[in-house]
Structure 1
């Protein structure tokens, strides 16, 4: 990331990294994670634009072999019930069939301190990745991208209730599977990376579609009334078009696997995502980026176009 003046910045916010997760906490700090593959690193920053230069703590090293030893992907940090939790994908080295979502817990006020204890793997019905949690209306939900023996797609997004931050209960329900051409680019049909916005009486489930190495990796959206049964697939309406896609004129390809946060003063909504700076540039060249977004007159998120690396972006309000 480049600070061009004391009031602007340019993307990317880090030179490399995939699946960026940025969480704004009540202590005034931003907690930030990206996929590292062989470990979990946690950044603690007082600003959004400064996460790359912030203090980094390696909070977890996997076992050398066995369950959870390999391919640590898509870490997310959450604060639930006065404790910190990290959800991350890992495998036993056997590929997709051995991929699960694991949970760590920390009781310290500062998650870069204290001890992270493994609570084990979420007992999902299917192997999968990109696990996340939604705390809403006094209930806790788990969502993930599950792999099944599907003839026409690779992964779909499932939801299930939680008894606590590491235990699911009840049947899993399918919320979205690849149906449209824009969800089937790059050689596989994929729905993955679920995350949430709650606003104006609605819950928006934003997910990533197509393969992460494809230029056409982008974001789709499901919408539900905030007071509806979020475990009833009929409660959700799926957009028939993507809501955030590549921008050739700005030199941004494969934007996706995002998180959401707010500016330090709480007045602005921001999307944090990864993208590739060249066409067919490969997943190893994914870079974390962030930009402010707005809302339509109908109360839906309007993410606009991915901004160029040559664009001077105003710093988040309150920095």
Structure 2
């Protein structure tokens, strides 16, 4: 029996930072942060709707000690150069906030049953002395004009620190080719609630332009989405070429019962229509530390395009 998609309602419960990848054969894959933050799970289906009840397979378990032993966050599944890759972040049980970006590789055809090999931390370019030295997470990969790029969040400064977003071209799936470029820092009041945060980048192409959404502020009801855009023909490593929106493109809507929408990814339905996958809460007040409250649920949104070609995010 075919399932109907419901939009802007809890779709897959207690799955934060949701990521959906539609493979070249039409198969849909889903991964996300799980409440225990202790490993990486995948599910797959022939249909987008089918992911909701698809069996979940744990393809990797955190280490007992050392790096990758705590806070396993925001996995993304990509297919590059004929192999599968999962990009994710992890901490160290002896220093739980020593979050860094790591990579798994699978050379087998089926990522659900294949052998996943640890490739270690993302490698920066030789002349780059800064990337991945501090709290770094939420790496995403996208292609433009035959080149692959990596965008990630990294904290700088002292005290509570500031989470910025950086971009670099990739030499291969595990190494950057160019020195990091600062894309966006929390400039505006809506990016500075609780913490000064830009994180969770996601990229979608449309009509010759690239749109990069990201998430801002602390992970409760203040969490929201901003956006940058650039021409596909521009120099993506020139930060002056990117245009940043002054206001959030998606935020809490109490009437709809959607609180703290963010950390999204983009996919498409079986007909090729763009779909945004994001997480949000259904309650405004959170019991305990928001980071360890499990009730961030994966949701779906129909994406449309405005007359100006820009994506329209509407509940």
TM-score strictly above 0.5:
yes
Structure 1 runs of 4+ aligned residues shifted over 3 Å read: 5-10, 150-153
Residue from 183, 190, 197 that aligns with 1:175: 183
Query: Which among 256, 260, 265 is matched to residue 271 of structure 2?
Result: 265
Offset, 1:253: 0.4
Q: TM-score, normalised by structure 1?
A: 0.89
SS in 1 for 2:308: coil
1:279 aligns with 2:284: yes
- Residue 219 of structure 2 aligns with which residue? 212
Partner Cα distance (1:209, 1:108) in 2: 37
State the partner residue of 1:298.
308
CA distance in 2, matches of 1:157, 1:9: 32
Distance in 2 between residues matched to 1:170 and 1:16, nearest whole Å: 37
Structure 2 segments unaligned to the other structure (5+ residues)? 125-130
Give me the whole-angstrom Cα distance separating, in 2, the residues matched to 1:177 and 1:249. Answer: 30
Deviations along 1:117-174, one digit per CA (max 9) or x if unpaired, are 1111013513311011112111111111001115785200011121100011321110
- 1:34 is aligned, of 24, 32, 35, to 32
Alignment partners' CA distance in 2, 1:33 and 1:304 = 24
Q: Please point out which of 1, 14, 21 is paired with 1:16.
A: 14
Q: Which residue of 2 aligns with 1:138?
A: 146
Q: Is the 8 A contact 1:13 1:49 kept in 2?
A: no
Aligned to 1:308: none
Q: 3-state SS of the aligned residue for 1:265?
A: coil
| Residues 33, 42 of structure 1: 8 Å contact kept | yes
What is the TM-score normalised by the length of structure 2?
Answer: 0.90
Q: Describe the SS at the equivalent of 1:52.
A: helix
After TM superposition, give the deviation of residue 35 of structure 1 in Å: 0.4
The alignment partner of 1:131 has SS state of strand
Count of aligned pairs between the two proteins: 298
RMSD of Structure 2 on Structure 1 (CA): 1.7
1:264 Cα offset (Å): 1.2
Question: What whole-Å deviation, never above 9, does each CA across 1:243-272 have from its counterpart, x for those lacking one?
Answer: 011111111100000010000121x11111
Alignment of 1:20-169 (within 5 A): 20-36=18-34, 37-93=37-93, 94-96=95-97, 98-124=98-124, 125-126=131-132, 127=134, 128-149=136-157, 154-169=162-177
